[in-house]
Amino acid sequence: MIGLLVPTPYSQPVRPEGVRERVRQLVEDERAVVDSWTDRLLRRELRYFVTMCALLGYSDHSAAVVVRGFRGVDAALVDPDQIRTGSDVEARSLAVVEELRPILGPLAARGDDQLTLDELDGAVAPVLDIPPRVILGDDGPDRYFDLVCWNEANAVAEGMQRPYFAAARISNEGFHKPLDRFELVEPLSAMVFRYEDVPERRDDTARAIVETLAAFRAAAPWPLPAS
């Protein structure tokens, strides 16, 4: 289940004309690149699943989206052609899948139209608890935002996500006014707009996004040390 919302950051600068069509075409082109990574489907599905688990904490979607994400991971897990990096990121993400398997596995094995609201509601609490605890060792404030940032930044570092999509996903969460302790939303929002509005500088902007996310990863080992 690969997907991303078109960026809608919490504050909007004055944009050059044609922004809607320009962004639509850009998202289409970027997604085509991601879709061409057929041997990275497992890691793409893991990234999507973990991010969707985190965004459930903001009620950005229903638990059904998380179930569909789990179903996508499970399908990719049995494909022998999928890249396995053996990295810490991959290990933590797979640990989340296995800890949630008793809850989400039976739901994912059935069609969406066969799931009841009570069953989906029953999955919410573990989905909100397990990913930040297993991946970040963190149950503190705004752990869901931290998890989105960690997940997207590491996906970029391992070549499993486009820098633009990662920056857009993180900047979108500025709408919820999270505790942005690493100050990512504002600079990444500016880079998203520049990537969209200044096509001739996209390579430079992508590098700036990668550098910003790399600095975040270096500054934010998980679990965070006590302050």
Angstrom distance (rounded) from CA 111 to CA 93: 24
Percent of residues, the chain, with pLDDT higher than 70: 92
Angstrom distance (rounded) from CA 225 to CA 227: 6
pLDDT tens profile 97-137: 999 999 999 999 999 889 999 999 999 999 999 999 999 98
- 67: which 2 tokens? 């179930």
Question: What rounded mean pLDDT belongs to the chain?
Answer: 91
* pLDDT at position 227: 44
Q: What is the pTM of this model?
A: 0.89
Please state the separation of Cα 70 from the chain's center in Å.
14
* pLDDT at position 47: 97
Q: Please report how the helices 202-219 and 185-197 are oriented relative to each other, as an axis angle in degrees rounded to 10.
A: 160
- 65: which 2 tokens? 């989206």
> Bigger pLDDT: 153 or 224?
153
Closest CA to 122 of 107, 141, 137: 107
Angstrom distance (rounded) from CA 201 to CA 193: 11
- 177: which 2 tokens? 């006014």
The total of other beta-carbon atoms located within 10 Å of residue 27's CB is 18
Please list the alpha-helical segments (H only) found in 132-201.
Answer: 143-157, 163-172, 185-197
Residue 83 CB burial class (10 angstroms; 0-12, 13-18, ≥19): middle
pLDDT tens profile 4-19: 444 444 455 677 778 8
pLDDT tens profile 17-73: 788 999 999 999 999 999 999 999 999 999 999 999 999 999 989 999 999 999 999
Q: Please report how the helices 88-108 and 63-77 are oriented relative to each other, as an axis angle in degrees rounded to 10.
A: 110
Does the pLDDT at position 91 exceed 70? yes
Residue type, 205: T
Residue 209 CB burial class (10 angstroms; 0-12, 13-18, ≥19): buried
> Do 133 and 139 contact (CB within 8 A), yes or no?
yes
Does the pLDDT at position 208 exceed 60? yes
Percent of residues, the chain, with pLDDT higher than 90: 81
